[in-house]
Amino acid sequence: MKLSPPSFEPAGRPNSSAVTVVEINDPTAIGEAMELVEQDVVQLDSRPLRFRRILVRLKTALVVYQSSNLAGRSLTRLQAGHVAFTAFGPRAAGTLNGMALGPDRVMASPSGVDLEFVVAEGYESVAFLLLRDDFDRQLMSKAEQHQRLFLQGVHLLQPGLVAARRLYGFGRRLVELAAKQPDLFELSATQSAVEGELLDALFAILQSTDPPESTAQERTRQCHSQIVQAVEKYALDHTVGPLRMTELCEASGVSERTLQYAFKEVLGMSPVTYLNRLRLHRVRRTLRAADPPSTTVTDVALRWGFWHISDFSRAYKRCFGELPSDTLRRQPDMEFSEAEVRKTKDRHSNR
C-alpha cells in the first residue's frame, strides 16, 4: 500500500527544537506530524479523537511517545537507514501484522517493512528510533543476536513482563521529563547521557530474549492480517464505484466466508464497513489538502467511489462529526495544537 512520503518535520511548521509535544484531533493529520516514519491511520471509532505525541530528539536517536483514546489501524514504515524498538503501555492491546502485542512484548524492526498495527482504545507506546549504522557500531561488540533479528524482519520479542515494563517505564519517564523541562534536552551532555542509558536498556532486552515461536493460532492470525492488507490495497487502487464482495474475494484469493472472518478477527468489522471507512479517511485527507476555490466535495467523493452524495455526506458526518464541506473550508493547521515548540539547531539535519 502506498503511503505519503516520509518527513522528518511536522507538515507546515519548522521543527528545530529538541522536544515537541503535539495534540491531534484528526486521524488523517497523525501521519503529517510524524518524523522518520510513514504513518497512515484509520480511526475505528467515531467518537472524538484525542491523540498525543511527544518527540524527543537526541543526537543519533528519536524517542516517540504516542497515546490514543480510540481504537485504530495504523500502517507504518520506518525510514531507510534506521532501526526501531517499541515498548507498549500497561493497557496496550491489539495486533501487529497479526501478532498479539501487549505490555509484556517489545517490537524490534528494521526499515523497509510494512507494519500494520490494530490497537484498542487506551493505547500507549514509546518507540526508540536509531540510526542503523550507529546502533550496529555501538552494540556489535556486545551482542550478535541483534544481527539475526534485523535480518529476519519485524519481531515482537518476549523479554518478560518485568523487563518490557522497565523499558517502557524508562521511555515514559524520559518523555515526561522532556515535556516539563525541554531546555534540559537542548544540552549536549544530557543527550549523550540519555543515549548511553537507552543503548544499555536495549542491550538488556536483546540479551534477555529470542524471537518468539509462533503458535498455530498466531500463524492463522498473521495470514488473516495479510488478507486484510491485500484487500486494503485493492480497495485503494480501485476507487471507481462501490465495493463488491466478489471482487474483494478474487483480489485476496479467499472465499467470502474466510474474508469476512479475517476482517472480523483483525479489525472487528466487516470488509465493506471497514473499507468504506478507509475511503472516507482518504476523502478527508484530500479535502484537508485541497484548494477550496478549485475543489468540490462531489468531485472528491466521486474520485473515492462515493456516487450517492447524500448517503456519503451522512456517513462522513457519522465518522468525523462534521460535514465534508466544513472540512474543505477549514485550514489544516486547525487540526493541530502544538504544546511545545522551541527553536534550536536541528541536530538531525546536520549529521
Instruction: Give 1's pLDDT tier (boundaries 50, 70, 90).
Output: very low
Q: How many domains does the chain have?
A: 2
When pLDDT is averaged across residues 224-247 and rounded to a whole number, the result is: 91
Residue type, 137: R
- 343, 57 contact by CB (below 8 A): no
Bridge partners (DSSP) of residue 155 are 108
Residue 342: is its pLDDT beyond 70? no
User: How much is the pLDDT for 211?
Assistant: 59
List alpha helices for 208-296, DSSP H.
Answer: 216-237, 245-252, 256-267, 271-289
User: How much is the pLDDT for 332?
Assistant: 57
**Residue among 234, 187, 243 nearest 58 (CA):** 187
Residue 140: is its pLDDT beyond 70? no
Q: Are residues 239 and 198 in the same domain?
A: no
Position 13 in a domain:
no
Give the domain range for residue 295.
Answer: 216-320
Q: Are residues 194 and 122 in the same domain?
A: yes
When pLDDT is averaged across residues 293-316 and rounded to a whole number, the result is: 94
Instruction: Give 243's pLDDT tier (boundaries 50, 70, 90).
Output: confident
Residue 165: is its pLDDT beyond 80? yes
Q: Are residues 191 and 166 in the same domain?
A: yes
Q: Are residues 176 and 36 in the same domain?
A: yes
User: How much is the pLDDT for 32?
Assistant: 86
How much is the mean pLDDT over the chain?
Answer: 86
Residue 344: is its pLDDT beyond 90? no
User: How much is the pLDDT for 239?
Assistant: 86
Least confident of 139-153, 184-198, 203-217, 257-271: 139-153
Position 5 in a domain:
no
When pLDDT is averaged across residues 2-20 and rounded to a whole number, the result is: 51
Q: What is the 3-state secondary structure (H, E, C) of 94-159?
A: EEECCEEECCCCEEEEECCCCEEEEECCCEEEEEEEEEHHHHHHHHCCCCCHHHHHHHCCCEEECC
Residue 270: is its pLDDT beyond 90? yes
Q: How many degrees, rounded to 5, is the angle at CA 3 between CA 111 and CA 308?
A: 155
pLDDT higher at 6 or 65: 65
Q: Are residues 203 and 245 in the same domain?
A: no
Strand arrangement, sheet containing 106-110: 155-157, 106-110, 82-88, 123-131, 61-68, 51-57, 19-24, 336-340
Position 2 in a domain:
no
User: How much is the pLDDT for 144?
Assistant: 54
Position 327 in a domain:
no
Instruction: Give 217's pLDDT tier (boundaries 50, 70, 90).
Output: confident
Q: pLDDT tens-digit profile of 305-322?
A: 999 999 999 999 999 999
Q: Are residues 107 and 241 in the same domain?
A: no
